[in-house]
Structure 1
Amino acid sequence: MKSMTGFGRANFQGKDLSLEVSVKTVNGRFLDVKLYAPKLYAPLEMEIRKMISNTLLRGSVEISISRKAYGDTQSVHFNESLAKNWLKGFNKVAKNMGLQAATDSQVLLSIPDLFKLDDASQISKKEKEVLWKVVEEAVQSCQKVRKKEGAGLKKDLHSYITDLKKRTSEIRKMREGLLGDLEEKYRQKLEKLGMPPEVEPQRLAQEVVFLIDKSDISEEIQRLDAHLDAVSSLLEQDGTLGKKLDFYAQEFLREVNTMGSKSPSAALTQIVVEAKGSVEKFREQVQNVE
């Protein structure tokens, strides 16, 4: 099991080149990779994303690449056609509006993108190999943190499952004693209404059975037991477990809420409330699981 929260960094320092790559991951329903890299690496973006997705399967991922090259040669490109068009247009406007003509140099300096730096360096095979190595190291460093966080999550989730099994057992035992309690409550209600306490046993039993059926939670208990066993087994598996665990968390909540709505006693309701608290904690932690 792995968490979706992690951070990793790796770097390379050579004579002519230095690289630093950092990878940060947080919770996310799907894999969402945001890449921040020099323009020089734009042609490699798809390959970098593929490398990330081969290891990090879910979550929001930010990867930042910093590059410093020593000895790169850069030339300045002057856009002559752009300059001519600007000068021609400016002089025409100045003449038509009676404006004072500015010097050509003033006009040129105000033109955006007139001068551009051309990066003459190309990505060499050696640099690509270094880049892949550093990216992989950063990803694995992040993955190591995610696994460590995942171990803690697994321990917490197991504790919530243990608590839920305990609560379910308490609910089952309490349910078994409800028959006598409901019978006594029904007798008390009859007495309050002025009805004779000597009611036919068969008639009383029928009414109690009706009440028991109305508040029966045996199926909910059975399904919750099955879900808890399934999750206990799932927690020991590898791979992306987050979505499956979130599904079971919703099923836990459904069964517990139904028990609460059917509960005929305050004591049972209290146990159900405590069980619901464990379910909510379980579901909150599951949001961190890859």
Structure 2
Amino acid sequence: MTGFARTEGIIEGTAWAWELRSVNGRGLELRFRLPPGFDTLEPALREAAAKLLRRGNVTAGLTIRRDEAPRLMPDPAALDQALALVTELQRRIPGAPPPRPEALLALPGVLRPAAVVAEDEQVTRAREEAVRQGFLAALDGLVAARRAEGARLAATLTGLLDEIAALCRRATEEAADQPALQRTRMLESVQALLAEVPTLPEERIAQEVALLAARSDVREELDRLDAHLYAAATLLAEGTAIGRRFDFLVQEFNREANTLCSKSASVALTATGLKLKATIEQLREQVQNVE
């Protein structure tokens, strides 16, 4: 969801420039930085952006530069006040030099910008329309930049999903004999316990051992992981506004990987489960970039 776009132009003696920046975000957050006089454009521009963008923190900044320098004129009231203060100081300080005009004009508030002559309404509308069209062009550029990043990201996501699928296949092979192995280990422990406490009901113990062995079966988790892989591939093929759904799907990936590790009865399966969790975490980080 990262991207950058810039447009600029000149109309009626005014140069304008748009810069749009986008970074990752869980939702869509739009920030506009508009100079005075252009605030009324924001609602329409915000609506246009919301139609094309779904996620990301987007900042849109407008810079305006006018060719003519601002004219200054003295403020009569401020000038009279400054002169009165200087005259009073001269009266109190014998021999003080007379005030210099440039010193008086440099005092804060003595000079102020001249009133801007109201421009023709048609000129104002033409300028606003040029700025609005410039924003739409910059928005198209930002969307194109984000799509280019999305194409590169799709290859990364596909690679991570392929790695997860390979780890699931390895886990399936390593877990094939896990229930039987778990049952054998438990029976050996129980037999050792019965040798010390022969009054324990052997049939009840056998039932508990069978139940625990069934609970150690990870085939259900692996089947769910396969289903999640299929769902992820379907989302990638869809390719439009999938970020939130993909984010939720990765949570389900992580849930099954955690359960697989907790049920593991072998060092090899545990190691594969940990690698699976690490790869899912990489997938989660990349999915944050998906719109």
Question: What is the TM-score with the length of structure 2 in the denominator?
Answer: 0.77
Which stretch has the larger CA shift, 179-188 or 279-288?
179-188
Paired amino acid for 1:274? K
Q: Which residue of 2 aligns with 1:45?
A: 42
Asked if the contact 1:183–1:204 (Cα under 8 Å) also holds between the matched residues in 2, the reply is: no
2: CA distance between counterparts of 1:266 and 1:73?
Answer: 76
Asked if the contact 1:83–1:111 (Cα under 8 Å) also holds between the matched residues in 2, the reply is: no
2: CA distance between counterparts of 1:112 and 1:274?
Answer: 70
Q: Show structure 1 runs of 4+ deviating over 3 A.
A: 72-87, 105-123, 186-196, 201-208
Q: Does 1:259 align with 2:260?
A: yes
Where structure 2 has 5 or more consecutive residues not aligned to the other structure, the ranges are 86-98, 197-201
Paired amino acid for 1:231? A
Q: Which has the higher contact order (CA 8 A, sep 6+)?
A: 1
Q: Which residue of 1 aligns with 2:285?
A: 284
Q: Specify whether residues 228 and 117 from structure 1 end up closer, same or farther in structure 2 by C-alpha distance, changes over 3 A only.
A: farther
1: CA distance between counterparts of 2:40 and 2:190?
Answer: 83
Give 1:186 shift: 3.6
Give 1:66 shift: 1.5
1:18 aligned counterpart, secondary structure = strand
1: CA distance between counterparts of 2:153 and 2:82?
Answer: 63
Paired amino acid for 2:5? G
Q: Specify whether residues 242 and 124 from structure 1 end up closer, same or farther in structure 2 by C-alpha distance, changes over 3 A only.
A: same
1: CA distance between counterparts of 2:153 and 2:205?
Answer: 51
Q: Does 1:244 align with 2:241?
A: no
2:283 aligned counterpart, secondary structure = helix
Give 1:207 shift: 5.6
Q: Which residue of 1 aligns with 2:96?
A: none
Q: Which residue of 1 aligns with 2:145?
A: 145
Q: Does 1:177 align with 2:177?
A: yes
Q: Which residue of 2 aligns with 1:30?
A: 27
2: CA distance between counterparts of 1:177 and 1:204?
Answer: 22
1: CA distance between counterparts of 2:167 and 2:228?
Answer: 14
Q: Specify whether residues 268 and 121 from structure 1 end up closer, same or farther in structure 2 by C-alpha distance, changes over 3 A only.
A: farther
Where structure 1 has 5 or more consecutive residues not aligned to the other structure, the ranges are 91-102
2: CA distance between counterparts of 1:240 and 1:287?
Answer: 12
1: CA distance between counterparts of 2:80 and 2:246?
Answer: 66
1: CA distance between counterparts of 2:218 and 2:75?
Answer: 80
Q: Specify whether residues 247 and 117 from structure 1 end up closer, same or farther in structure 2 by C-alpha distance, changes over 3 A only.
A: farther
2: CA distance between counterparts of 1:189 and 1:174?
Answer: 23
Backbone CA RMSD of aligned residues? 3.7
Q: Specify whether residues 271 and 135 from structure 1 end up closer, same or farther in structure 2 by C-alpha distance, changes over 3 A only.
A: same
Give 1:248 shift: 0.8
Asked if the contact 1:28–1:58 (Cα under 8 Å) also holds between the matched residues in 2, the reply is: yes
1:236 aligned counterpart, secondary structure = helix
Which stretch has the larger CA shift, 179-188 or 30-39?
179-188
Question: What is the TM-score with the length of structure 1 in the denominator?
Answer: 0.78
Give 1:145 shift: 1.2
Q: Deviations over 1:1-54 (max 9, x none)?
A: xxx100011111457232211110001122222222221212222222222222
Q: Deviations over 1:63-83 (max 9, x none)?
A: 11122233x586668877899
